[in-house]
Structure 1
Amino acid sequence: MKRFYIVGFLALMAFDTLAQISFKVAGEHALPLEFSPAWLLRVFGQPWIYGAFAGYLGAFFTWMTLLQRAPIGPAFAASHLEIVSVLAVSAVFFGEAVGWPQMAGALLILGGIACLAVSEAGEHGARDGRR
């Protein structure tokens, strides 16, 4: 079951990251922003917009599958790992600055997920009589 969670949350993070990065790139290629047929053609003429749709669909089905088995507290927290992964991808591929506030936020997210995972593991141990 532990492998299921690891693979599932990594897949969820990958799909969410794909969606966010794809929207960013598609949006950059669709500038200038205007509501017109020409703008819609620029948006839907970008292959990145379809990467965003694929990412959201993949994330939706992965999330629904995870919710059937994963405890809701850690699952909800881990579903926000894409914030950290998008930060890293944006820094590496787009040269976006990552300062101490972003690093502190990423560490707080990871720490919160770790705390919830440890807490949930402790509760399962107590329920199973291992405490």
Structure 2
Amino acid sequence: MKTRFYIFGFLALLAFDTLAQLSFKYAAIHALPLQADLAWLFRVFGMPWIYGAFIGYIGAFFSWMTLLKHAPIGPAFAASHLEILSVMLLSAWLFNEKIGWPQILAAILIVAGVICLACSESEAHPAENDSEGHAVR
């Protein structure tokens, strides 16, 4: 049951974080040229993308706060950075941004870090068994 909660929670966090980052990128592209005047602010807040960013950040905040109440902090913190991968992949597709070897290496290191922290957490808190041999947490 907890595993399903963690999976759903981290997928929600990933989705909200990705929505926020991509929405800011779209808003920035459509708000060009950058000008420090009232007309530019009206142009920014007249686009739906900026509201997608707000929704993404609010959703990410509540997802993160809910996860922090239940998930171990080490793996939770590491997994919260998986949006870097989703934003990178979607930016390559949506904005034709290039993915080079530094980005690929960084993605591998992020995933390896999440896996290492998850494994170390499971070793630090091994599942206890009840009288019938079922795992209990």
TM-score, length-scaled by structure 2: 0.91
Q: Could you say which residue in structure 2 is the equivalent of 1:109?
A: 110
Q: Could you say which residue in structure 2 is the equivalent of 1:64?
A: 65
Q: Could you say which residue in structure 1 is the equivalent of 2:94?
A: 93
CA distance in 1, matches of 2:122, 2:6: 13
Shift of 1:62: 0.3
Deviation beyond 6 Å, 4+ runs, structure 1: none
Q: Could you say which residue in structure 2 is the equivalent of 1:34?
A: 35
Q: Which has the larger radius of gyration?
A: 2
Query: Partner letter of residue 56 of structure 1?
Result: Y
2:47 pairs with 1:49: no
Query: Partner letter of residue 79 of structure 2?
Result: A
CA distance in 2, matches of 1:14, 1:118: 24
CA distance in 2, matches of 1:47, 1:93: 17
2:126 pairs with 1:125: yes
Q: Residue deviations 1:55-77, cap 9 Å, x none?
A: 00000000000000000000011
TM-score, length-scaled by structure 1: 0.95
CA distance in 2, matches of 1:41, 1:111: 43
CA distance in 2, matches of 1:102, 1:85: 12
CA RMSD of aligned residues (A): 1.2
Across the two proteins, how many residue pairs are aligned to each other?
A: 129
CA distance in 1, matches of 2:77, 2:58: 18
Q: Could you say which residue in structure 1 is the equivalent of 2:12?
A: 11
Structure 2: which 5+ residue stretches go unaligned? Answer: 130-134
Shift of 1:95: 1.0
Larger helix fraction of residues: 1
Q: Could you say which residue in structure 2 is the equivalent of 1:74?
A: 75
